[in-house]
Amino acid sequence: MAERSRTRPIPDPQAPRSAAQPRPFEPFRRTLEKARQPVLTTHVNADGDGAGSEVALALYLARLGVNAAIVNPTPFPETYAFILGDLAAWSSRDEEGRKALERADLFVALDTSEPSRLGDVYAAMRDRPVAVLDHHPATPESIGDPAVRDPLACATGELVYDLILSAGERPTPREAEALYVAIATDTGSFRFANTSDRTHEICAELLRAGVDPQAMYRRLYGQVTEGRLDLLRRALAGLEQDPEWPLSWITLRREDFHASNAASADLEGIVEYARRLRGIEIAVLFRELPDRSTKVSLRSNGDADVAAIAREHGGGGHQKAAGVHIRGPLDAASAAVLASARRALHLKGLGPLKAGDLEE
Ligand SMILES: [Mn+2]
């Protein structure tokens, strides 16, 4: 989840550019430096921020003489494998991954601190220290001590960048590339509300460290597969708009996945098509999973709080980007979530649309 609304203090023009924000990195750094065989991990279905943050941190730790293993609850995403270079990344199901989990003397969770988002890796964490670096707000279930959490950071990558800066260091070219992946993907290529002046200042530093934005764009977005395009075609065919409320949704059934030969990663960004429809305040993507449960992604364009909608059904997230996994069949799940969404819109005085609202 990438978006949230934010307010930032007006920057002091005398302040040094790109100075690290005062964040309590010291306990976190001391814990890392003491570790001998730490495991870095992120949430299930790692996104660019989770993957980029753990790669940047692994590279930085190597500079400090700490040999960290990357072990995620699900396989490291293909799209971002290019930032690994000579680093290995395992899933908790791999033999090597299991061994690394067994011998870990510290876990570092990046971009999440929710047990439910850590899959099998959470089971391995029991009785061992877990440090957290995350830009999601803490919930009652959040783990991690020490934890550096800053919901104002545009990405967890921003926190890894600041960790490096807080030691008076600069990112190396490879660290910069991984951090750029984290920040560029989590800000929707610098378009989402979490994009700040500081986001661009950090990326300016990353470009100075050697990142080539054109090459990165090709790597990140110029690799569309036929499966992804076919899934997109099906998603657009299934795009619906509420006749009264500023609400749109896309439904993808199991058959859509089978027929298109698409992977889970191909879903990334598809909800944005519903969100971009003119006049829409809330967009939703419903995806039927193989076990006939339903995954729901919610996006808000304005004041409506989609995290509250997700929480009503047992999920969570940010005000503008949230999600929930519902153990019920697609049609019931979508009816329930859409009803909550209409209530959330009503609460904010958004809609129902008056005739003509969508016309110029
Ligand atoms: Mn993130």
Distance 111 CA to ligand 1 centre (A): 5
Evaluate whether residue 353 is within a structural domain: no
Classify residue 299: in a domain, yes or no.
yes
Q: Which CATH number fits the domain that encloses residue 95? A: 3.90.1640.10
135 and 109 in one domain? yes
Q: Does 359 score more than 70 pLDDT?
A: no
The rounded mean pLDDT for the chain is 91
> How many distinct structural domains can be found in the chain?
2
The answer on 101 and 37 residing in a single domain is yes
Could you tell me the distance, in angstroms and rounded to a whole number, from the CA of residue 182 to the centre of ligand 1?
7
* Residue 17 placed within a domain: no
Residue 358 resides in a domain: no
Distance 1 CA to ligand 1 centre (A): 6
| pLDDT surpassing 80 at residue 28 | yes
Mean of the pLDDT values across residues 39-63? 97
Asked which of 220, 255, 273 is the last residue of a domain, the reply is 220
Give the range among 16-25, 146-155, 171-180, 287-296 with minimum mean pLDDT. Answer: 16-25
pLDDT at 356 over 70: no
Mean pLDDT of all residues in 227-231: 93
- Distance between Cα 351 and ligand 1 center (Å): 31
In this structure, the answer to whether residues 244 and 212 fall within a common structural domain is no
- Residue 21, pLDDT above cutoff 60: no
Q: Confirm whether 14 is domain-assigned.
A: no
d(CA 135, ligand 1 centre) in Å: 6
The residue among 220, 236, 255 that closes a domain is: 220
Query: What are φ and ψ of residue 223, in 5° steps?
Result: -125, 35
Residue 172 lies in a domain: yes
C-alpha 229 – ligand 1 centre gap (Å): 25
CA of 157 to the centre of ligand 1 (A): 8
CA–CA gap between residue 285 and residue 294 (Å, rounded): 10
What is the CA(66)–ligand 1 centre distance, in A? 24
Average pLDDT over residues 185-194: 93
Residues 122 and 240 in one domain: no
Instruction: Please report the pLDDT score of residue 354 as a whole number.
Output: 55
Residues 43 and 174 in one domain: yes
User: What does the pLDDT average to over 232-240?
Assistant: 95
Q: How far is the CA of 236 from the centre of ligand 1 (A)?
A: 26
DSSP annotation string for 95-153: HHHHHHHHH-SEEEEES---GGGSHHHHHHHTTS-EEEEESSPP-TT---SSEEE-TTS
Confidence of residue 295 (pLDDT cuts 50, 70, 90): very high
Which residue's structure tokens are 């005739």? 355
Q: Cα of 127 to ligand 1 centre, how many Å?
A: 26
pLDDT bin (cut points 50, 70, 90) of residue 12 is very low
- Same structural domain for residues 98 and 121? yes
Say yes or no: 207 and 314 in one domain: no
Contacts (Cβ under 8 Å, ≥6 apart) of 93: 120
Distance from the alpha carbon of residue 180 to the mean position of ligand 1, in angstroms = 12
Q: Which DSSP symbol is given to 58?
A: H
Q: How far is the CA of 291 from the centre of ligand 1 (A)?
A: 27
pLDDT at 353: 60
Q: Tell how far the Cα of 50 is from the centroid of ligand 1, in angstroms.
A: 6
Residues forming beta bridges with residue 200, ordered by sequence position: none
Asked whether residue 15 is assigned to any structural domain, the reply reads no
Task: For the chain, give the longest Cα–Cα distance.
Answer: 65
Sequence-distant (6+) residues with CB within 8 A of 168 are none
C-alpha of residue 360 to centroid of ligand 1, in Å: 36
Q: Does residue 173 belong to any structural domain of this protein?
A: yes
For 68-120, how does the pLDDT look when each residue is reduced to its tens digit (9 = 90+)?
999 999 999 988 999 999 999 999 999 999 999 999 999 999 999 999 999 99
DSSP designation for 297: E
* 321 CA from centroid of ligand 1 (Å): 11
CA of 352 to the centre of ligand 1 (A): 33
* d(CA 38, ligand 1 centre) in Å: 21
The per-residue pLDDT for range 298-316, each reduced to its tens digit, is 999 999 999 999 999 999 9
Q: What's the CA-to-centroid distance between 113 and ligand 1, angstroms?
A: 11
Q: Ligand 1 centre from 155 Cα, in Å?
A: 5
Domain boundary among 220, 241, 270: 220
* Confidence check: pLDDT of 3 > 90: no
Report CA(151)–ligand 1 centroid distance (Å): 10
Domain with 281, as residue range(s), is: 227-347
Q: List, for residues 318-355, the tens digit of each pLDDT value.
A: 899 999 999 999 999 999 999 999 999 999 999 876 54
Q: How confident is the model at residue 265 (pLDDT cuts 50, 70, 90)?
A: confident
Q: Are residues 181 and 322 in the same domain?
A: no
Same domain, 149 and 284: no
Asked if 215 and 329 sit in the same domain, the reply is no
Q: Is the pLDDT of residue 17 over 90?
A: no
Averaged pLDDT, 133-140: 93
* The pLDDT value given to residue 22: 57
Residue 136 C-alpha to ligand 1 middle, in angstroms? 7
Considering the domain architecture, whether residues 121 and 187 belong to the same structural domain is answered as yes
Share of residues in the chain with pLDDT > 70 (%): 92
> 319 alpha carbon to ligand 1 midpoint, in Å?
14
| 305 CA distance to ligand 1 middle (Å) | 18
Instruction: For residue 272, give the CATH number of its domain.
Output: 3.10.310.30
What pLDDT is recorded for position 297? 97
Tokens of 3: 């978006």
Q: Are residues 232 and 281 in the same domain?
A: yes
